[in-house]
Amino acid sequence: MAAQSAPVHVLLITGLGGEPAYSQSFLDAAGSIFEAATRWGVPAASRIWLAEDPARAPGKITGRATKESVAAAFSTLAQRAQPGDVVLVVLIGHGSGVARESKVNLSGPDPEAWEYEQWLRPFLRSTVVFVNGSSASGDFLPILAGPGRIIVTSTKSSTERNESVFYTHFAKGLAGGDADADKDGRISVLEAFSYARAEVRRAYESDNRLLTEHAQLDDDGDGKGADDPAGAETGDGALSRQVAFGGAPASTNPRVIALLAERRALESDVAALRARRASTDSTVYERELERLLLLIAEKTAAIRAIEPGGPPS
């Protein structure tokens, strides 16, 4: 499990847009994460951005996104990443295919999900965060899932083929402060995911459209994604809650800092309890879960009493 202060390596891959609007949208989302990684202190050699047109962001985009350049980028990061490091991979584009043959359109031959899984194998002792923000991306999740990996897809299956908006909100959540629910100055993967999921739903509702993309997250390695890991009974959410990016805490109040630490500890207890649910007596489980959730609510109320703009429950 990665410590919050673990060194970070970032690989951004943006595919073919097909239309100028999509190309610009892919560029904007990846660019915001690239800038955030710079603020996080990720060294230039550990910030790799492969895109449709490197000339669109000279000095930032490392090269054209092709199967060969993606393979080389994974190899480069595998040589740099040390045990305990965090490797963040964000893939954005137009997706297609099913199961092992799922892919995202790049220049030239498109690498498939099974190939990405092979490229991830050298990172056995690192924590991998792999985000596929493309349409029809859901089938990537069971292929890539494994111990020490957080896998996020913008859809629950390959059949959700409409253009995704999840990636834009995930990038905004990861790169900005709006997703920082606990106001600790850092954005966890779970916070970015939960923020993006809520924003996607809001966007569809505001347009009076039926929700056609359902983002999934797996971080317990079982290959079964959860759409709401913050409240999931599946065991997902523990690792993605702890892997976070960013700088100094938003609050300098010692009491608030202490309360936040106490609440995070209680949240870890909830995650551990949920992971033991199958082997725990149902009455004992429900009683303990209720006790922990009440304590978390008390900590949140105490934080809000000190700082009215504190984190939500």
For 58-83, what is the mean pLDDT? 94
Return the top range by mean pLDDT from 108-112, 241-245, 255-259: 108-112
Whether 37 shows a pLDDT value over 80: the answer reads yes
Q: 277 or 121, which is more confident?
A: 121
- Can you give the pTM of this predicted structure? 0.78
- Residue type, position 217, single letter: L
| pLDDT score for 71 | 97
Least confident of 53-57, 69-73, 85-89, 134-138: 134-138
CB 103 within 8 A of CB 96: yes
For 166-181, what is the mean pLDDT? 88
Q: How far apart are CA 160 and CA 204, in angstroms?
A: 14
pLDDT, tens digit, 9 for 90 and up, residues 209-256: 877 788 899 988 888 888 877 665 567 888 888 888 986 555 667 787
Six token digits for residue 144: 């890539």
What backbone phi and psi angles, to 5 degrees, belong to 79? -75, -30
Whether 299 shows a pLDDT value over 60: the answer reads yes
| pLDDT score for 38 | 92
pLDDT, tens digit, 9 for 90 and up, residues 262-272: 776 777 677 66
- Residue 162's CB: how many other CB atoms inside 10 A? 12
